[in-house]
């Protein structure tokens, strides 16, 4: 809808619209002095979006964003130390970085076992978490190291291309060798060359949309909240 104000002298201002609706003079406006409408010179044209949103400001601190504006895929990253001790940890700040060559990244923290192991042995596996594993994944942080693996009842298996083990209960795995690390603020970003990818055979054989249903991935929202992928749509 377009609202406009027009006048042929400053004391005589009229307001009109291209729809017969009550006047609401807010929104963006555009000066439009060149448009002569009959005897009147159109002064201002207001383009009013009926659905125009009012925006509330959020703090810079991501912990205070409710809802979370950047949900991340929940994964379990498995690693092994130089002296052969395996480790697993949930990570959701995971993202592809390059298609050619295939490189991904996750953001972790300096000093965590995961990141230390990766720096030592130059490998890690990104294991995709399904919704039936959510309680274990959120709950696993009360333990560390081998106790975390045992208490959660996860089974480690051999990877095809890297020394880090994979988590057999997960339905998909992305094996990575270390590309490099980058310290940014409180984060230690780990870049990994994707060396091998594997997925549950039933998922590989399923129809296009059913694949997502079977993988049943989850996204980290905030605190102890997560969500599934939901309905698949195609443009
Ligand atoms: C669902 C979920 C997602 C997480 N995502 C991340 C993440 O992306 N980056 C991070 O540094 N920590 C993340 N954490 C916290 C780490 O898993 C936690 O610090 C863990 O103790 C690290 O273990 P580690 O010292 O064995 O590597 C997440 C925790 C949960 C429950």
Atom 11 in ligand 1: which residue has the minimum CA distance?
108
* pTM of the model as a whole: 0.82
Query: In this structure, is the dihedral angle defined by the CA atoms of residues 174, 178, 180 and 183, taken in order, positive or negative?
Result: positive
What confidence category does residue 2 fall into, taking pLDDT thresholds of 50, 70 and 90? low
The answer to whether 124 and 82 are in contact (CB under 8 A) is no
- Predicted confidence at residue 209, as pLDDT, reads 85
Residue 140: predicted pLDDT: 97
Q: Coil, helix or strand for 139?
A: helix
Q: What is the pLDDT of residue 46?
A: 57
In CATH, the number for domain 68-228 is 2.30.110.10
d(CA 118, CA 125): 10
More confidently predicted of 44 and 231: 231
* Protein residue with least CA distance to atom 20, ligand 1: 89
Predicted confidence band at 52 (pLDDT cuts at 50, 70, 90)?
Answer: confident
Closest CA to 188 of 109, 120, 111, 128: 109
Pocket test for ligand 1, best of 91, 137, 217 (most atoms within 8 A of CB): 91
CA of 171 to the centre of ligand 1 (A): 20
- Cβ of 133 closer than 6 Å to ligand 1, yes or no, is no
Domain locations in the chain as residue ranges: 2-49, 68-228
CA of 211 to the centre of ligand 1 (A): 27
Asked whether the beta carbons of 74 and 218 are under 8 A apart, the reply is yes
How confident is the model at residue 12, as a pLDDT?
A: 54
The β-bridge partners of 97 are: none
Question: What is d(CA 59, CA 21) in angstroms, rounded to the nearest whole number?
Answer: 38
Q: Quick check: 181 pLDDT over 90?
A: yes
pLDDT in tens, 71-90: 999 999 999 999 999 999 99
Residues 52, 26: Cα–Cα separation, whole Å: 10
Specify the residue with its C-alpha closest to ligand 1, atom 13. 91
32 Cα–ligand 1 center, Å = 55
Nearest CA to ligand 1 atom 22: 89
């Amino acid at each position: 809808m377009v609202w406009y104000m027009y006048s042929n002298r400053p004391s005589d201002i009229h307001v009109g619209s291209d729809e017969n609706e009550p006047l609401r003079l807010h929104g963006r406006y555009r000066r439009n002095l060149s448009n002569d409408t009959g005897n009147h010179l159109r002064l201002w044209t207001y383009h009013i979006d009926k659905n125009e949103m009012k925006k509330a400001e959020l703090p810079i601190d991501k912990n205070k964003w409710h809802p979370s504006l950047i949900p991340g895929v929940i994964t379990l990253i498995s690693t092994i130390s130089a002296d052969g001790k395996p480790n697993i940890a949930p990570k959701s700040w995971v993202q592809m970085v390059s298609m050619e060559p295939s490189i991904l990244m996750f953001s972790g923290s300096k000093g965590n076992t995961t990141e230390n192991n990766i720096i030592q042995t130059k490998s890690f596996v990104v294991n995709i978490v399904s919704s039936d594993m959510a309680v274990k994944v959120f709950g696993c942080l009360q333990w560390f190291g081998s106790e975390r693996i045992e208490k959660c009842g996860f089974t480690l298996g051999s990877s095809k291309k890297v020394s880090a083990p994979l988590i057999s209960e997960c339905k998909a795995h992305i094996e990575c060798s270390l590309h490099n690390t980058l310290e940014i603020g409180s984060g230690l970003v780990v870049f990994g060359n994707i060396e091998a990818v594997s997925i549950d055979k039933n998922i590989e054989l399923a129809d296009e949309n059913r694949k997502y249903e079977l993988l049943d991935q989850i996204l980290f929202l905030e605190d102890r909240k997560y969500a599934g992928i939901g309905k698949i749509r195609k443009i």
